[in-house]
């Protein structure tokens, strides 16, 4: 097993012990240049929240993959793992398979525009690999989940994807310099 595969297995092992809220935080922090396996693992879980599924779906840029299918004469020949995850997620959304809905999801203008483009491109395909569903563009009520310093303390450093954060090393309080005081102040603000 290579180092990349080992890292993926370690991340999924961490996710298996984490809460769905922390899954969502991991999704928010995910570096989309990495292997998609940890996100695909989340997308398959019974406790995957609708907000998580929608976040992954739209961050994965499904319209681009439909454009590729159109350029290939309507055939879906793309075998990228991300595309497989997007198709799986779309099918599960269409089947109302994401039943957990405790996390808030906001729909912005870009999501609405992407949804309209998804509808347009899907109509151009005889057998669209993704079928647009109105739930793909609906805002959801729920708790607002953010990535705070407490999450980054429990989330293994080598999994940090988009937010590279150095946690302060709180040594002897007598010897904390100006930078340490700034970190302490920021940390206390992040907790709120």
pLDDT of residue 76: 83
Total domains in the fold of the chain: 1
Closest C-alpha among 80, 12, 75 to residue 45:
12
Closest C-alpha among 134, 135, 145 to residue 28:
145
Cα(83)–Cα(130) distance, integer angstroms: 10
pLDDT of residue 156: 85
On whether residue 169 sits in a domain, the answer given is: no
pLDDT of residue 171: 46
On whether residue 41 sits in a domain, the answer given is: yes
Q: How confident is the model at residue 16 (pLDDT cuts 50, 70, 90)?
A: very high
Q: Flag whether pLDDT at 188 surpasses 90.
A: no
pLDDT of residue 189: 55
pLDDT of residue 111: 96
On whether residue 79 sits in a domain, the answer given is: yes
**Taking residues 75-84, what's their average pLDDT?**
88
pTM of the model: 0.82
pLDDT of residue 75: 80
Which range is least confidently modeled, 12-26, 64-78, 141-155, 157-171? 157-171
> 1-24: string of b/e by CB count within 10 Å (b at 16+)?
eeeeeebbeebeebbeebebebbb
CA geometry: angle 152, 31, 35, nearest 5 deg: 115
On whether residue 119 sits in a domain, the answer given is: yes
Q: Which residues contact 118 (CB under 8 A, 6 or more apart)?
A: 62, 63, 66, 130, 132, 136
């Amino acid at each position: 097993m290579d180092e990349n595969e080992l890292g993926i297995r370690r991340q999924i092992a961490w996710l298996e012990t984490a809460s769905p809220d922390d899954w969502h935080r991991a999704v928010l922090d995910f570096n989309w240049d990495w292997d998609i396996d940890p996100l695909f693992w989340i997308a398959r879980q019974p406790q995957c929240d609708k907000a998580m599924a929608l976040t992954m779906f739209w961050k994965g840029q499904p319209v681009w993959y439909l454009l590729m299918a159109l350029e290939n004469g309507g055939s879906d020949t793309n075998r990228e793992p991300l595309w497989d995850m997007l198709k799986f997620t779309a099918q599960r959304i269409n089947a109302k398979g994401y039943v957990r809905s405790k996390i808030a999801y906001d729909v912005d203008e870009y999501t609405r525009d992407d949804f309209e483009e998804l509808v347009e491109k899907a109509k151009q395909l005889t057998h669209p690999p993704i079928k647009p569903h109105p739930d793909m563009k609906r805002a959801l009520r729920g708790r607002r989940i953010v990535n705070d310093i407490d999450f980054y303390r429990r989330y293994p450093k080598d999994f940090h994807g988009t937010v590279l954060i150095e946690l302060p090393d709180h040594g002897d309080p007598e010897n904390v310099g100006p930078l340490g005081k700034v970190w302490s102040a920021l940390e206390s603000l992040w907790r709120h």
